[in-house]
Structure 1
């Protein structure tokens, strides 16, 4: 799967992060994140880092969803 700037931006925004927050999380500078999100070239190393970030984001989203479902279940079933 090829990482696109659009996918990176979407994941970042879903978390409510700024480009600075994402840059700090993945270990690069803010201008690199901006360049990637706006169609810049993604190096192979950065692509691997971004894949890890996306997988981590997806895992966290599943956990949050599962927790919300459990909370709703408990509320309904006492």
Structure 2
């Protein structure tokens, strides 16, 4: 069965590479805690403003999807 959600795909990946729940939670926490830096670095990049906005919107969408499996 194919799971097309970002959260579902990430969960499948962690199972396939046998990441233990404790390590998985550590990875997820790290990704969630550093989102501000990702946005700041994107805004400081040489990308055009529209490209920066698009990237940040996509990033934030994917981050929200990943948050669904953090619980």
Normalising by the smaller structure, the TM-score range is 0.3 to 0.5
The structure with the greater share of residues assigned to helix is 1
Length-normalised TM-score, structure 1: 0.32
Q: Radius of gyration: which is bigger?
A: 1
Normalising by structure 2, what TM-score? 0.34
- State the structure with bigger RCO (CA 8 A, min sep 6), 1 or 2: 2
